[in-house]
Amino acid sequence: MQKVLVGIDPGHGGRDPGAVGLGGTKEKDVTLAISLKVAQILRAAGVDVLLTRNTDTHLGADQRQDLFARSHKFNTANCDIAVSIHCNSSANRAANYFSVYVIGLGGSAEKLAKLVVGEIKAATNWHWGSDDDGVREKNLHMLRETKMPAILIECNFISNAAVELQLKSPAFQQVLAEAIAKGILKYFKMEVNGMPEQWKLDIVEKAKQLGLITQDHNPDELASKWFVLQVSMNALNAVESKKKQ
């Protein structure tokens, strides 16, 4: 299997809430929730993932330092691609479309962006609001300062009340995460035979938290006897440790 490293950047965080919807939904919370789900799906498919943050944190003393910390993390790790996830906002409360930005058209980033756009369009009732294909050029830090093909996804307008309700829904966040992950997998020409069911991913995550496993696994793969034995030994070790406390 082709081994790749995908950088996922949940926009904003900590003292920087990003845009805030009329109902109080913060962009930083939506982007983190979607990003964690994307990472979970990709890891289950055998893809390595690097998150700029996996909790509600800010990475610098100010916005400039925060952004440079994010791009530096991806550049240092030599990620194969970078995907920054955001929500848009507008004084026009009726604004209702999504965009995927690249630093320039004609390269690998545009190819990735088009694949992600296609999956989002197929999975949601969203449109991109103009006669282009939803892929747009913009001079943004996470596109300009990263050394790998990079895209920035604006997950529609959180300032639109109807869209805000969608974006705060865990079920809809899962729909978006699956669409983004499918686009990424297609970019790397990796098979997309269907996403693991969420309850299976939740079990894998719980097993990691309990120390029964140490890394993400594809929940649809058959377990070898060695894997079962290792999990059993991990469980016994956890029980013994609990007795000693």
List the chain domain ranges.
5-187, 198-244
Check residue 44 and give its pLDDT: 92
Residue 205 has pLDDT above 80, yes or no: no
What confidence score (pLDDT) does residue 128 get?
Answer: 81
Q: Is the four-CA dihedral 191, 194, 226, 214 of positive or negative sign?
A: positive
- Asked if residue 235 has pLDDT above 90, the reply is no
| pLDDT score recorded for residue 180 | 98
The pLDDT of residue 138 is above 70 = yes
The yes/no answer on whether domain 5-187 falls in CATH 2.40.70.10 is no
Q: 31-69: per-residue pLDDT in tens?
A: 999 999 999 999 999 999 999 999 999 999 999 999 999
The gap from C-alpha 223 to its chain's centroid, in whole angstroms, comes to 27
Q: What percentage of the chain reaches a pLDDT higher than 90?
A: 72
Q: Does 233 score more than 60 pLDDT?
A: yes
Percent of the chain with pLDDT over 70: 79
Residue 76 has pLDDT above 80, yes or no: yes
Q: What is the pLDDT of residue 102?
A: 98
Give residue 29's pLDDT.
Answer: 98
Mean pLDDT of 8-37: 98
Q: What is the pLDDT of residues 80-99, one digit of tens each?
A: 999 999 999 999 999 999 99
More confident residue, 189 or 209: 189
Most confident of 55-64, 149-158, 216-225: 149-158
Residue 223 reports pLDDT greater than 90: no
Task: Enumerate residues 6+ apart whose C-beta is below 8 A from 5.
Answer: 47, 48, 49, 50, 77, 78, 79, 80
Averaged pLDDT, 196-218? 60
